Chain A
Amino acid sequence: MIELLQVPSLLTVQDLGRTGYRKLGVPVSGVMDEVSARLANYIVGNPDNAPVLEFLLAGPTIRFNASAVFVIAGDVGVKLNGVPIEPWRSYWAKRGDVLEVGTLRSGLYGYIAFAGGIKCERLLGSCATYTRAGLGRPLKAGDRLTLGYVLLTGKEGRVLPRELRPDYLAKEKVIRVILGPNLDHFTEHGIETFLSETYTVTPESDRMGYRLDGPAIEHSEKGADIVTDAVPIGSIQVPANGKPIIMMADAQTTGGYAKIGVVARVEVPLVAQSRPGERLRFKAVSVEEAHELLRRREKMMTAIKAFLNGELRAYRIKTGGEELIAFAEVEKE
């Protein structure tokens, strides 16, 4: 069991979300940054969907009431019993140890994964917190969480090399989107504006959606409102003021603003990790291109998982001044 001593900002239990209930108005929820959360789970030897702690900007202080193996995913300073330790590396904590997670230097959401996952009440098939409907609640100081039972040996001391960690430091992020499905609500000029201008993430952004500021996107004579229909995660709605809103994990399942595009799934973590003030540009891609990008990412995720499990070896190679990681199979005896 672990006990939360300090919780400086939004801290929730999340998994990869709740599917199958969207037609009843229940949002998917789940982690904002799928990649970081899954990598954290791989490092401690968990399956992809094991529940993790998600913190917004500043991490909690945690006391271990039993030994456990944990990892922090994020660009953040961490201390175990006052001694600095590294993120993206798994450690063994003993009973009584205190873990202090600092404030993210880049990115917006950080993750803490424990070997065996976090025990939680699965509601509608998921541990994802969606406060508004009483599906879990934000955690506060004094809360205790039970960890899943697991053989801890061998799960500690695993590290994700720097080259394989997500990098959310880009000055201007290019987000690939699939245009539509309500393109007829925009003028050609409006679509052109959307694809050529730069948009800034505003402070009015949360797990439900990221509001952007930038040149107004022009609607056609059909206007900004549509007959209410569904809202996939990543949908870019444009209300009458012409300023886009990107719908995120906790987004309502249906909505009445025209959607100019939907962020390719592979880019959703990049959007999620964009802080207020950061700038985004949009680039149109086809559905097929988006699928190809997704498949490539999953190949990489599979390789990283195998590497962390000791089934693949990783080599640093230098090509054209760039350092890359190459994987090779570990020979079996």
Chain B
Amino acid sequence: MNLEKVIFGFFIVLALTLNFGFFLGEMDNPQYHNAYELFVLVVVNLIATGLKLGDRTQIGAILLSTSLVADLELIAAAIYWTVVVHVTETGMTPDVTASIVSLSGGALVANIVSVVMVVAETLMLRR
């Protein structure tokens, strides 16, 4: 067993599962989507990105880019949330919620790609 692999895998899978949890539920109903969950999700995603920095291999580059995609979409969702609640004060109407959740859905796909690649690499090198 290798501590590095544990940490690496832990954050990548945690990001995916949190993302899935946030995405789950009715698309346009704000009741199903928690602001704190989104906050934790953004933080975990950023940590996962940080772990992937500095890997010079091809697979490392792709892992980093999927992570950056997820970050981008989640941060966009968080900013949108902040704007509708605090700036325009329209609140979480169904169409705003749907936009935020679909952004997190995009991030979910990127996270799935990440996990699939990590699993594929691990399976290839059985040791």
A binds B: no
